[in-house]
């Protein structure tokens, strides 16, 4: 294991063990931004931006990021939680440079390519995800109701990562461009590479592709997420809802 801070401030841990029987590498880019970083009125933005990161950049057309990785025999995905957003690719070792270039490209080149049409499309995708996972399944809204009971208003964990429909509907293009500019910077990310490669190769590629990206000087401090003291009094909420019988309309 080797660990190095690059000039823009990005940390890049690189594996040193080579595995010739498994010529594969995994790339993970971890951004220090999640739903706890969202200000009032912008709940769900971190997760929605995870979707937007696959919608093209200055140098890569819409959906091409996925096609390039899969066309090279790799796989990719991303996830968002209250504390971070991460993007990960697994590719044959000879395509490590491709994976790292793609991640650097969308870190630095997404905002100029972001359009209102793309935002509107992915907003609807996320709203449907909320319906499918939380609103239209048995007990799906339990988590949405539990968080506000556990954490008081103003606490960064008070709202779910999926966000509210009202905030998602109110999102505009300029706000999302500012969100990316604020949080998607090399000094707000950790790049990790493991597999059939060397530390020297990883650091060289990181310098080549991420080295020209400017650090952000005004990244907001993380909100206070300290544990809320127990009240000693049980917190209860009774929910009554009409559920249609199977097959009814």
Positions marked active-site: 50
Between CA 208 and CA 8 the distance in angstroms is 12
Structure-token pair, residue 224: 């206070």
Torsional sign, CA 71, 84, 189, 178: positive
Query: How many CB atoms lie under 10 A from the CB of residue 230?
Result: 7
* Residue entry with tokens 């025999």: 73
Between CA 164 and CA 19 the distance in angstroms is 45
Phi-psi region of 170 (alpha: psi -120 to 50; beta: other; left: phi over 0): alpha
Q: Is 109 helix (H, G, I), strand (E, B) or coil?
A: helix
What's the longest Cα–Cα distance across the chain?
A: 63
Between CA 141 and CA 164 the distance in angstroms is 12
């Amino acid at each position: 294991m080797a660990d190095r801070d690059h000039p823009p401030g990005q940390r890049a841990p690189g594996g040193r063990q080579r595995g010739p029987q498994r010529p594969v590498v995994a790339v993970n880019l971890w951004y220090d931004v999640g739903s706890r970083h969202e200000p009032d009125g912008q709940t769900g933005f971190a997760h929605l931006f995870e979707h937007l990161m696959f919608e093209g950049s200055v140098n890569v057309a819409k959906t091409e990021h996925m096609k390039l990785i899969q066309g090279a025999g790799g796989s990719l995905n991303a996830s968002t939680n209250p504390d971070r957003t991460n993007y990960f690719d697994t590719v044959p070792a000879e395509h490590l440079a491709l994976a790292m270039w793609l991640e650097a490209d969308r870190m630095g080149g997404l905002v100029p390519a972001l359009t209102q049409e793309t935002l509107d499309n992915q907003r609807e995708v996320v709203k449907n995800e909320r319906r499918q996972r939380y609103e239209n399944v048995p007990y799906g809204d339990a988590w949405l109701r539990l968080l506000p009971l556990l954490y008081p208003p103003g606490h960064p964990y008070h709202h779910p990562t999926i966000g509210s429909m009202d905030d998602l509907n109110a999102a505009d293009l300029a706000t999302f461009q500012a969100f990316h500019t604020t949080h998607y910077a090399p000094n707000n990310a950790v790049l990790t590479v493991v597999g059939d490669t060397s530390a020297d190769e990883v650091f060289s590629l990181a310098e080549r592709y991420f080295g020209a990206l400017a650090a952000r000087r005004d990244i907001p401090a993380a909100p206070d997420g300290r544990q809320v003291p127990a009240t000693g009094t049980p917190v209860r909420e009774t929910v009554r809802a009409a559920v249609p019988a199977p097959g009814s309309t």
